[in-house]
Amino acid sequence: MAGKFELKTAKDGQIMFNLKAANGQVILTSERYKQKSSAEKGIESVRKNANRDGAFEVRENSKGEPYFILKATNGQEIGRSEYYSAKAAMENGIESVKKNAADAKVDDAT
């Protein structure tokens, strides 16, 4: 089973997507978009950038929990991960995005 992008409408009416691993776990969450076409372009940007060197920026929140941000070549944020309990778990999340993004189907629930 492969990963998938879940395109959906947020509570505020804007469109967003999650990239889910084959096990159903969310590994990347997008920003919110006013238009569905923009969200679809965001998905394509994830596909294009997931395996690009330097695309992932690793950070920590104020509690010291690691997370990552996937950025486009222009530096704009495409999506971010959840907060992880350990750096190794976060690194596995990055690898999961790299592995799943290219072939993930889009499940449109908008």
* 72-93 residue pLDDT tens: 999 999 999 999 999 999 999 9
Quick check: 110 pLDDT over 90? Answer: no
CB-side neighbour CA atoms (13 Å) of 91? 3
Q: How confident is the model at residue 2 (pLDDT cuts 50, 70, 90)?
A: confident
* Number of separate domains in the chain: 1
Quick check: 101 pLDDT over 80? Answer: yes
On average, the pLDDT of the chain sits at 95
Strand partners, 71: 77
Q: How far apart are CA 32 and CA 17, in angstroms?
A: 8
CATH of the domain at 28: 2.30.29.80
Host domain of residue 26: 4-108
Q: How many CB atoms lie within 10 A of CB 89?
A: 14
Structure-token pair, residue 109: 């629930």
Instruction: Give the pLDDT confidence score for residue 4 in this predicted structure.
Output: 96
Instruction: Give the pLDDT confidence score for residue 1 in this predicted structure.
Output: 61
Q: What is the pTM of this model?
A: 0.92
Quick check: 45 pLDDT over 80? Answer: yes
Range 8-12, long-range pairs (CB < 8 A, 24+ positions): 8/109, 8/110, 9/109, 9/110
